Amino acid sequence: MKHVGLTARMAIAGSILFAFYAVAAVVAMGVFGAPLWLVLVGSVAFVGVQYKLGKWMALRSVRAEDMPKDQYGWIHDRAEHLSNEMGIEKPRLMVARMGVPNAFAVGRKGAGTVVVSEELIRLLDRDELEGVLAHELAHIANRDVVMMVLGQGVASIVAILAQWAVLLTGDNDIADFFLAIVVGQITQMLVMIFVLAISRYREYVADSDAADAIGGGDPLARALEKISHGNEQSSDSRVDENVNALCIFGQERGLAKLFSTHPPTEKRIERLRR
């Protein structure tokens, strides 16, 4: 599925992230005296390890297990059909007890994984769950999961280098230590602003793709209403902050909404029902 808006945003954000990365590389060479080849190899290896480790940690954090075909055969069938519709390989399907009704996707085309919570399967009707599956498959098809992980990796590299720059250019006392932490957090936040802008937009795109795949937006709209209500009623969420950014429903509240990974659920439902 071709999306000019998403592609353009990913290209712009990618260019900005590369600029941050280039600045970080110059700082690394200046502060540490590291050669260019070592900086390049080290940073690529860091992002690669973070990508692999991030996927593993996301699945481990919710204790995801392979979804049994004998118990959830119809989910496997619908995932197979929707994957064919979207032109991707059927991803690995997993199930987890998250404490709340939710779902998320990790990985890329040909190596994707979709995790669905047991709470979500119990809550939704079959057509609503199909809408959620289509939404997660759209994320894999559009490669925006990879963009999110790479963006987080660049943000981490820039933040770490900013912290070391403060420590190595200061007096190396306790004040510099705390200043380095603050500078690192602020730097990472500034870089992540561009990633979060894509994150919110990609939810709208995945909703639209899901509606096209299942023949209408109402089932997914109803699913989002039930998921939102289910998350409000539950206080036993086992979804951590990093996984929350990948889920179909984000749980940001209060000031966290300023840096939300998801657009307002009400707006998503409104768009789906137009």
Strand (E) or helix (H) holding 123: helix 118-123
| pLDDT the model gives residue 267 | 92
How many residues make up the chain in this entry? Answer: 274
Grade residue 41 by pLDDT with cuts at 50, 70 and 90.
confident
Q: Report in angstroms the alpha-carbon separations of 273 from 2, 167, 175.
A: 22, 53, 54
pLDDT by residue (tens digit) across 43-57? 677 767 777 777 888
pLDDT by residue (tens digit) across 88-136? 999 999 999 988 899 999 988 888 999 999 999 999 999 999 999 999 9
Question: Average pLDDT in the 71-91 region?
Answer: 95
Task: For the chain, give the percent of residues with pLDDT over 70.
Answer: 84
| pLDDT the model gives residue 40 | 74
| pLDDT the model gives residue 240 | 67
pLDDT by residue (tens digit) across 147-159? 777 777 777 777 8
pLDDT by residue (tens digit) across 229-256? 887 766 666 676 667 777 877 655 544 5
Grade residue 207 by pLDDT with cuts at 50, 70 and 90.
very high
Three-state DSSP at 235 gives coil
Instruction: Identify the residue with better confidence: 48 or 71.
Output: 71
Domain boundaries of the chain, sorted by first residue: 4-272
Neighbouring residues of 63: CB distance < 8 A, sequence distance ≥ 6: 96, 97
The candidate with the shortest Cα–Cα distance to 249, out of 265, 233, 235, 273, is 265
Residue 87 burial (CB < 10 Å; 0-12/13-18/19+)? exposed
CA distance 150 to 172: 31
Residue among 119, 128, 130, 136 flagged as catalytic: 136
Instruction: Identify the residue with better confidence: 250 or 220.
Output: 220
> Across all residues in the chain, what is the average pLDDT?
82
| pLDDT the model gives residue 255 | 44
The sheet carrying 103-106 orders its strands as 65-66, 92-96, 113-117, 103-106
- How many CB atoms lie under 10 A from the CB of residue 146? 18
- How many CB atoms lie under 10 A from the CB of residue 59? 20
Q: Which residue has the tokens 């768009």?
A: 271
Rg over CA atoms, the chain: 20
Question: Average pLDDT in the 142-171 region?
Answer: 77
CB 43 within 8 A of CB 18: no
The candidate with the shortest Cα–Cα distance to 135, out of 56, 204, 226, 222, is 204
Q: Dihedral of CA 42/48/54/60: which sign?
A: negative
Our answer to whether residue 136 is catalytic in this structure is yes
| pLDDT the model gives residue 254 | 46
